[in-house]
């Protein structure tokens, strides 16, 4: 599903359109047939990834208990236990990044996750960078070295790309082999 195209369409939707869409989606999220499909794909002890909308990212967890409408999990990174609805589980390993087609200034709220490193210019026009620790409605709370918290508008943020991670994600190592001209 092309979430970027959907987000573009939603920009043109009225509040009533969005409300109607929310109602239809809510009914589908509670659809027993859809829940059964997910229950068949997971078992106790499995490692799953689920989406947390407040952090706008996937969390890796272990399945502890499978219930009728929810599943108990334990997060791998902090060992916290949660009972989550089945619809939060990303069983198809679907990418969760949403990128806007019309790149205006800054970063869109749907493009940023807790833990991301982003950059911005402060009021004195100095380049700063920080780690996202909270996603707010109009701003992002960042941890900026040395031991400072900043609330920054989405409109002045820009992504910081880690060269090592980008290299690992988009390229494979190898050697160029010359073929014989036979």
**Mean pLDDT value across residues 156-170:** 64
pLDDT score of 112:
83
Query: Which two structure tokens, joined as six digits, stand for 87?
Result: 């619809």
Q: How many domains does the chain have?
A: 2
> Has residue 103 been placed in a domain?
no
**Mean pLDDT value across residues 103-114:** 75
Buried b (16+ CB within 10 A) or exposed e, 18-32: eeeeeeeeeeeeeee
Tell me: do 82 and 15 sit in the same domain.
yes
How many Å apart are CA 167 and CA 127, to the nearest integer?
24
Tell me: do 80 and 128 sit in the same domain.
no
Q: What is the mean pLDDT of the chain?
A: 84
| Segment 91-104, tens digit of pLDDT | 998 877 665 545 55
**CATH code assigned at 119:** 2.30.30.140
pLDDT score of 98:
61
Structural domain harbouring 28: 3-88
pLDDT score of 172:
52
């Amino acid at each position: 599903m092309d979430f970027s195209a959907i987000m573009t369409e939603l920009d043109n939707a009225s509040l009533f359109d969005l409300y109607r869409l929310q109602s239809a989606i809510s009914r589908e999220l509670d659809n027993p047939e859809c829940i059964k499909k997910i229950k068949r794909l997971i078992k106790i002890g499995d490692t799953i990834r689920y989406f947390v909308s407040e952090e706008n990212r996937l969390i890796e967890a272990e399945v502890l208990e499978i219930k009728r409408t929810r599943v108990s999990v334990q997060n791998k990174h902090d060992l916290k236990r949660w009972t989550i609805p089945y619809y939060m589980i990303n069983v198809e390993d679907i990418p969760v990044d949403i990128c806007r087609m019309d790149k205006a200034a800054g970063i869109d709220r749907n493009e940023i996750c807790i833990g991301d490193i982003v950059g911005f210019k402060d009021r004195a026009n100095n380049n700063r960078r920080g780690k996202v620790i909270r996603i707010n409605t109009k701003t992002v709370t960042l941890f900026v070295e040395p031991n400072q918290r900043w609330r920054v508008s989405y409109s002045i943020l820009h992504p910081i790309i880690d060269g090592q991670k980008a290299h690992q994600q988009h390229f494979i190592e190898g050697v160029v082999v010359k073929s014989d001209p036979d």
